[in-house]
Amino acid sequence: MDFHEIALKEMRRRKYSPRTIETYLYCINRFLNRTQKEVSKISKVDVKKYLYELSERNKSGNTINIHLNAIRFLLEDILNKNMKLNIKYSKTPKKLPTFLTREEIRKLLNAISNWKHRLMIEFLYGSGLRVGELINIRVKDININEGYGFVRNGKGKKDRIIVLAKVVIEKIKNLIEIEQLESEDFLFRTNREESYSVKSIQEIIKKAAKISGIKKEIHPHTLRHSFATHLIERGNTLSEVQGILGHKSPETSMIYVHMASPKLLSVKSPLDN
């Protein structure tokens, strides 16, 4: 039985993202190669032993959880084994994500000489987008006159509204006019009239970070963290930030309250009294 092909078809049927499919297949193959057993003879003990080995190799909590979910998918959903893998998740350390100050954002943007590349990064930060959302934005998703847009089929297969920074609106108008973009076109296209890749955006940011001299490790998602933190600092409510980021629960957005500057949040130290 080709478990790889069966798992692939089932994940596609469930409309898992390409990234999730690739990750799950990798984890499943690693597990099967490690156990060296017929699938019918795999036990819960084998699963626990494998996860323990990952822990011993200092794999992060997130990594172990992903392997567990992939193995559970294979054994319970594909093979219908009544194993009930109610193994406790490995706790992920509560680590605050990296974010840039507003001055660092300015330095990063000023380090990008290509005008379209800069516009993409301005849009990424200015609307709090995930990088996958940025490269999939189409002209029809942007309501320039009203100053907002939509992310279509974002994380969780949901649509959400996004704000457009005033500074990018005129630039987007110029981009559409210069490249004669149609409604169905990707807003940001390469010279081959294709959408940009995630790797391309990563490289733009990596190069700008090096030129700007910012010592922090910066990724596309760092700009989303920065966007959310700066909204909180400006006095936006948690529910507003939750909505604009597309988070399911306020707990997910709560982390940005802890990251925001206490001074800008108007928090007074009791020592002052």
Nearest CA to 74 out of 30, 118, 121 is that of 30
pLDDT attached to residue 203: 96
> Is 138 an annotated catalytic residue?
no
Q: Do 108 and 69 sit in the same domain of this protein?
A: no
Select the more confidently predicted residue: 39 or 201: 201
Q: Do 23 and 63 sit in the same domain of this protein?
A: yes
Confidence band, pLDDT 50/70/90 cuts, at residue 202:
very high
Select the more confidently predicted residue: 267 or 3: 3
Nearest CA to 209 out of 102, 117, 112, 97 is that of 112
pLDDT of 272 strictly over 60: no
pLDDT attached to residue 56: 84
Mean pLDDT of 83-97: 67
* Cα Rg, the chain, nearest whole Å: 22
Q: Do 165 and 53 sit in the same domain of this protein?
A: no
Q: Do 215 and 144 sit in the same domain of this protein?
A: yes
pLDDT attached to residue 263: 52
Mean pLDDT of 163-189: 93
Select the more confidently predicted residue: 45 or 90: 45
pLDDT of 2 strictly over 80: no
Mean pLDDT of 222-235: 89
pLDDT attached to residue 147: 87
As a whole number of angstroms, the distance between CA 200 and CA 19 comes to 17
Using a pLDDT cut of 90, give the percent of the chain over it. 39
Q: Do 61 and 138 sit in the same domain of this protein?
A: no
pLDDT of 1 strictly over 60: no
Q: Do 197 and 254 sit in the same domain of this protein?
A: yes
Instruction: Please state the separation of Cα 261 from the chain's center in Å.
Output: 24
84 falls within a domain: no
Select the more confidently predicted residue: 101 or 82: 101
Question: Strands across the sheet with 160-163, in order?
Answer: 142-143, 148-151, 160-163
pLDDT per residue over 251-261, tens digit each? 666 677 666 66
Residues 14, 129, 149: CA angle, nearest 5 degrees: 95
Indicate which residue of 221, 234, 263, 268 is catalytic. 221
pLDDT attached to residue 5: 85
Q: Do 140 and 199 sit in the same domain of this protein?
A: yes
* Assigned token pair, 74: 């294979």
The range of the structural domain enclosing residue 53 comes to 3-78
pLDDT attached to residue 79: 83
Indicate which residue of 117, 224, 225, 230 is catalytic. 224
Q: Which helix (H) or strand (E) holds 170?
A: helix 166-178
Q: Do 69 and 133 sit in the same domain of this protein?
A: no
Mean pLDDT of 58-63: 80
pLDDT attached to residue 109: 97
Mean pLDDT estimate for the chain:
85
pLDDT attached to residue 266: 53
Q: Do 176 and 63 sit in the same domain of this protein?
A: no
Q: Do 56 and 106 sit in the same domain of this protein?
A: no
Q: Give the CATH number, domain containing residue 64.
A: 1.10.150.130
Is the separation of the CB atoms in 108 and 218 below 8 Å?
Answer: yes
Nearest CA to 85 out of 50, 59, 136, 109 is that of 50
Q: Do 8 and 132 sit in the same domain of this protein?
A: no
Q: How many domains does the chain have?
A: 2
Phi/psi of residue 166, nearest 5 degrees:
-55, -35
pLDDT attached to residue 238: 77
Confidence band, pLDDT 50/70/90 cuts, at residue 88:
low
> Is 155 an annotated catalytic residue?
yes
> Is 26 an annotated catalytic residue?
no
pLDDT attached to residue 90: 58
Indicate which residue of 130, 138, 225, 230 is catalytic. 130
> Is 256 an annotated catalytic residue?
yes
Indicate which residue of 67, 117, 118, 247 is catalytic. 247
Q: Do 157 and 243 sit in the same domain of this protein?
A: yes
Indicate which residue of 107, 152, 155, 206 is catalytic. 155
pLDDT attached to residue 115: 96
Q: Give the CATH number, domain containing residue 197.
A: 1.10.443.10
